[in-house]
Chains A and B, each alone.
Chain A
């Protein structure tokens, strides 16, 4: 007993070190496996408030481009109003505007914090877009703020298709350049040309069909490969992202219940 106590005393500093490191790695692994607590992320009210203030200050430098973008978006919305002519088509999607108050664009796991939370009806798994194209998917929801996992996060996967022939592919990001992403799972027999347009596939309940994603920059097909390696120039300019829209699907719960029942 005496010896044990002596050993414990001798190595007490090392034991403190070990305990704290184990706690830290538990936090890291929990964080990788589950949606994080909103208290301990940028959805935390104080942290988000601070970020919002900084973001407001920074936004003055981008006013010119932001105004242009809003004008473009207005025009696009007007066009959409004109094109609604079918009374039979039931549209389950609704949009809610939000502002990005904090974000990273140059890490491997980028995140965006937006100023809408559960009180506004935001739920985990909803989509986020802006006037230019797809932004990402809601990952953590706080009361007044949420954290979005953008398509420029190496953990994100997005189902897309070509506008020209409807072929599907999966968009991923390699963590290198926030202007480009990679399109996988496109079979070799399909002809891919630079300039081909990529949009959301509408296969998941997250995004409606046809939201712009990007344009093919180049594609490589190595000898013996069964899939193309495609580099896509993203429509969304994440460096200047500020005004976004949350895409809400009225039928999301119903669709999830139906597919859950299949397992």
Chain B
């Protein structure tokens, strides 16, 4: 696995997140967290425990930028915990999963399914924990939906560009 490439991608995505997507104040409900792209696209060959630790670190870094200590960390660890099981459930042909998670390797349908489930889960976890009560559940669901659409578009866009 090419670590420099992974870290380089993480830095670029984090810069985009902090300098561009965190500044989006056009709509009051739109907070896309595109930084999870790196976690989603992390090679599946990496040990499960290590992927969770890396998720925790990435979440913690995001928390520092968002003043939300622990929230992104919890959501990312959850994400990385279910990731191998989700991929196992979605992808039938395991032989094609030797290294990279890409549209070429698992097919467009599976990729789309994988991205939607992961993004919705992460955003729902973050917004629910940030609200910290069921009183705002309607708002939380709406916020999750709007923000997830943007994040999913960004991640799928990245994948389609990478395949060319």
Contacts and interface: CB of A to CB of B under 8 A. Distances in A.
A42 B56 CA distance: 19
Given A17-B77, A24-B59, A105-B25, A40 B69 contact: yes
B71 A12 contact: no
A41 B69 contact: yes
Contact of B65 (A14, A47, A106): A47
Interface string B83-106: 000000000000000000000000
Interface residues of B, number: 33
A241 B23 CA distance: 14
B69 A27 contact: yes
Contact of A20 (B53, B63, B69, B136): B53
Nearest to A29: B70
B118 to A, nearest CB: 16
Contacts of B112: none
A28 B67 contact: no
Interface in A1-43: 12-14, 16-17, 20-21, 23-32, 36, 40-42
Nearest to B23: A54
A226 to B, nearest CB: 23
Nearest to B73: A24
Contacts of B25: 105-106, 239
B150 to A, nearest CB: 15
B81 interface: yes
A16 B78 CA distance: 11
B59 A106 contact: no
A124 interface: no
A28 B72 CA distance: 10
A185 interface: no
A58 interface: yes
Nearest to A113: B67
B74 A36 contact: no
A44 B64 contact: yes
A50 B14 CA distance: 13
Given A40-B63, A42-B67, A147-B67, 11 more contacts: A12-B49, A13-B81, A17-B78, A20-B53, A21-B74, A21-B77, A24-B70, A27-B63, A32-B132, A58-B23, A175-B139
14 contacts: A13-B49, A13-B81, A16-B49, A17-B78, A20-B53, A21-B74, A29-B70, A44-B64, A104-B67, A106-B28, A109-B130, A147-B67, A176-B139, A239-B25
